[in-house]
């Protein structure tokens, strides 16, 4: 063990960190399952899990053991060599996703970059000189130049012109707008959407998951690639391994990250059907994508999700939380939405201040997105007792606030 002890951060301490984040003045030194702890031992219930990352909870013993064992065995060799853990992780991910080919990356944005490259390659092969991709309003796809261009939030794009001009934007859930775009733009080759918009406010399409079926039909009709961004919704979060599994369709391209590594930075872009084989030798790569260590983590995370029946748990306990919130907050002007452990509570007013109130008064970690939506992303393996603990703190928070 290291003998370095870091001094606590002082409020006025000068920092060399780029000021890209609005940070809360608290830090956690330890975590266990659904709980986080500060240096003085204060316990917080974590209903955010690092923004849908630690789906199996903090410091999961099986994941921790896999990381520790691999760290003292072999961390990285490069993709110049065969990596049996990468092959095994791809096999597992193919099993749970129904996809055929997998490329491992290190983050969500990078996985979406891979998807955008696949769409461009697909278009180019069809003879489309400048291929276009349909994306949705209020979407979030990342912070790299191509993915921020795809993102439907002006704040993310502000000051970063020139944006890439691949993207045609339509309202989320509006299939007529997609058909209209098809008439106007013969160079469209793909659609990229989130099954449930996370950063946008836990938005489900007005027609529910049948929106995905409608999009699938349109993609088939026009020979476009259907590409789903499941970076937030994937890995059991919505009560299915991937959210599109609430339907009978399969996308051509699928991206994921976040819960795939339970806190270890990994991502993946996957293909099946007509999207297979578009990225061949020399066309894509990543030094850190699919390292021995990262791949073993992916394998172990999926294996653990399966062995703990965590996806089924997310469906059942998530349903319970939603039902209880609807009942217990019935006299409040709120709308509760979401699937599994991806839950939004739409409040009638902006409520960013609730994050600090929840933390300081209820020892509860939540997030507010899209101004007025309390976003809950608890561990997918949360127990019923922990869900009751969450409900007690949350209902008190909202009752006091409204």
Ligand X SMILES: Cc1ncc(COP(=O)(O)O)c(C=O)c1O
Interface with ligand X by CB under 6 A: which range of 156-164, 229-237, 358-366, 392-400?
A: 229-237
Q: What are phi and psi of 58, to 5 degrees?
A: -80, 145
Which of 133/397 has CB closer to ligand X?
133
Which of 46/194 has CB closer to ligand X?
194
Residues 356-385 that bind ligand X (CB under 6 A): none
Contact 210, 246 (CB under 8 A): no
231 binds ligand X (CB under 6 A): yes
232 binds ligand X (CB under 6 A): yes
Which residues make beta-bridge pairs with 149? none
Which of 198/236 has CB closer to ligand X?
198
> Helix, strand or coil for residue 76?
coil
224 binds ligand X (CB under 6 A): no
Contact 38, 29 (CB under 8 A): yes
Query: Which residue minimizes CB distance to ligand X?
Result: 108
257 binds ligand X (CB under 6 A): yes
Which of 86/139 has CB closer to ligand X?
139
Of 263, 256, 243, the residue nearest 33 (C-alpha): 263
Binding test (CB under 6 A) with ligand X, winner from 46, 113, 166, 229: 229
Interface with ligand X by CB under 6 A: which range of 76-84, 227-235, 332-340, 366-374?
A: 227-235
Binding test (CB under 6 A) with ligand X, winner from 140, 172, 211, 242: 140
Which of 203/304 has CB closer to ligand X?
203
Of 350, 339, 332, the residue nearest 311 (C-alpha): 339
Which of 179/286 has CB closer to ligand X?
286
DSSP type of residue 275: G
Of 368, 352, 364, the residue nearest 397 (C-alpha): 364
Edge to edge, the sheet with strand 225-229 lists: 101-105, 267-271, 253-256, 225-229, 188-193, 132-136, 167-170
264 binds ligand X (CB under 6 A): no
Distance CA 368, CA 350 (A): 9
261 binds ligand X (CB under 6 A): no
Contact 118, 275 (CB under 8 A): yes
Residue 397 Cβ vs ligand X, minimum distance, rounded to whole Å: 24
Distance CA 310, CA 234 (A): 13
Binding test (CB under 6 A) with ligand X, winner from 103, 194, 201, 378: 194
Contact 364, 394 (CB under 8 A): yes
Residues 51-110 that bind ligand X (CB under 6 A): 51, 107-109
Residue 139 Cβ vs ligand X, minimum distance, rounded to whole Å: 8
Residue 110 Cβ vs ligand X, minimum distance, rounded to whole Å: 7
Of 225, 222, 136, the residue nearest 177 (C-alpha): 136
149 binds ligand X (CB under 6 A): no
Residue 83, both tokens? 């990596």
Residues that bind ligand X (CB under 6 A): 51, 107-109, 112, 140-142, 194, 198-199, 229, 231-232, 257
């Amino acid at each position: 063990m290291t003998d370095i002890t870091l001094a606590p951060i002082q409020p006025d301490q000068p920092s060399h960190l780029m000021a890209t984040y609005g940070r809360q003045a608290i830090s956690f030194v330890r975590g266990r399952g659904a709980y986080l702890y500060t240096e003085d031992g204060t316990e917080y219930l974590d209903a955010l899990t690092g923004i849908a990352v630690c789906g199996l909870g903090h410091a999961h013993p099986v994941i921790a053991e896999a990381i520790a064992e691999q760290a003292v065995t072999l961390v990285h060799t490069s993709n110049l060599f065969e990596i049996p853990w990468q092959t095994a992780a791809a096999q597992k991910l193919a099993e749970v996703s129904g996809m055929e080919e997998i490329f491992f990356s290190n983050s969500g944005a990078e996985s979406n970059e891979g998807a955008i490259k696949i769409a461009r390659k697909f278009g180019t092969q069809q003879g489309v000189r400048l291929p276009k991709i349909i994306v949705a309003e209020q979407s979030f796809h990342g912070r790299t130049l191509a993915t921020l261009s795809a993102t439907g939030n002006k704040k993310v794009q502000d000051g970063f012109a020139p944006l890439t001009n691949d993207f045609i934007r339509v309202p989320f859930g509006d299939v007529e707008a997609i058909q209209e775009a098809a008439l106007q733009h013969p160079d469209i080759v793909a659609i990229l959407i989130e099954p449930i918009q996370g950063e946008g406010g836990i938005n489900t399409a007005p027609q529910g998951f049948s929106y995905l079926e409608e999009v699938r039909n349109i993609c088939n009709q026009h020979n476009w690639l259907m590409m789903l961004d499941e970076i937030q919704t994937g890995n059991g979060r919505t009560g299915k391994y991937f959210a599109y599994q609430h339907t009978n369709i399969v996308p051509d391209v699928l991206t994921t990250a976040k819960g795939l590594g339970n806190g270890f930075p990994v991502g993946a872009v996957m293909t099946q059907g007509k999207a297979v084989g578009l990225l061949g030798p020399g066309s894509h790569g990543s030094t850190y994508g699919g390292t021995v260590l990262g791949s073993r983590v992916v394998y172990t995370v999926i294996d653990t999700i399966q062995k703990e029946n965590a996806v089924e748990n997310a469906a059942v306990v998530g349903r319970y939380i939603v039902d209880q919130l609807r009942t217990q907050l019935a006299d409040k002007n709120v709308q509760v939405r979401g699937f599994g452990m991806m839950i939004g509570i739409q409040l009638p007013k902006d409520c960013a201040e609730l994050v600090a109130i929840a933390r300081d008064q209820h020892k509860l970690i939540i997030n507010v997105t899209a101004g007025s939506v309390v976003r809950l992303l608890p561990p997918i393996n949360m127990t019923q007792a922990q869900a009751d603990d969450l409900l007690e703190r949350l209902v008190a928070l909202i009752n006091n606030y409204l």
